[in-house]
């Protein structure tokens, strides 16, 4: 089965740039979506089809996908960005989520 690998945690200083990766075999050939989940809340779609921001998501969020790694980048990190982030793909007839990355803003 296809596996998605995310770092368990990422830390970023306030105002700096956070990079969250999602690794998978040739993941660059498929669409990757990203979700933000704050504690006690439902996930929110923050990026779809690798690099498209849904309405209402700040321009500080960007995405890319190439080779074996998809990346979610958060520029000018704010305290409100502190959350869990999950990558996700559609694989044939199943949906796969990465294990999630906890983003800490210092």
Partner 1 sequence: QVQLVESGGGLVRPGGSLRLSCAASRFTFSDYYMSWIRQAPGKGLEWLSYISSSASMIYYADSVKGRFTISRDNAKNSLYLQMDSLRAEDTAVYFCARDAVPFAGTYDYWGQGTLVTVSS
Q: Which residues pair with 76 in a beta bridge?
A: none
Answer yes or no whether residue 79 interacts with partner 1 by CB under 8 A. no
Alpha-carbon distance of 76 to 55, in angstroms, equals 19
The single residue among 21, 31, 62, 75 that binds partner 1, judged by CB under 8 A, is 31
Alpha-carbon distance of 53 to 51, in angstroms, equals 7
Among positions 1-30, residues that touch partner 1 (CB under 8 A) are none
The bridge status of strand 33-37 relative to strand 83-91 is antiparallel
Stretch that binds partner 1, among 17-25, 37-45, 59-67, 68-76 (CB under 8 A): 37-45
Answer yes or no whether residue 34 interacts with partner 1 by CB under 8 A. no
Q: Which residues pair with 18 in a beta bridge?
A: 74
Q: What is the dihedral of CA 48, 88, 65, 16, to 10 degrees?
A: 80
The single residue among 7, 23, 58, 99 that binds partner 1, judged by CB under 8 A, is 99
Stretch that binds partner 1, among 13-21, 62-70, 72-80, 94-102 (CB under 8 A): 94-102
Contact present, 53 and 42 (Cβ < 8 Å): no
Summarize as ranges the residues that interact with partner 1 (CB under 8 A). 31, 33, 35, 37, 41-45, 48-49, 54, 84, 86, 88-90, 93-100
């Amino acid at each position: 089965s296809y596996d998605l690998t995310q770092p368990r945690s990422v830390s970023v200083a306030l105002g700096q740039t956070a990079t969250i990766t999602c690794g998978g075999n040739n993941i660059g050939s498929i669409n990757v979506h990203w979700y933000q989940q704050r504690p006690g809340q439902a996930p929110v779609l923050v990026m779809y089809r690798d690099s498209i921001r849904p309405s209402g998501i700040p321009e500080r969020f960007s995405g890319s996908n190439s080779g074996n790694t998809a990346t979610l980048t958060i520029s000018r990190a704010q305290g409100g960005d502190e959350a869990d982030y999950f990558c996700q793909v559609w694989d044939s007839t199943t949906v796969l989520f990465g294990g999630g990355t906890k983003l800490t803003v210092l």
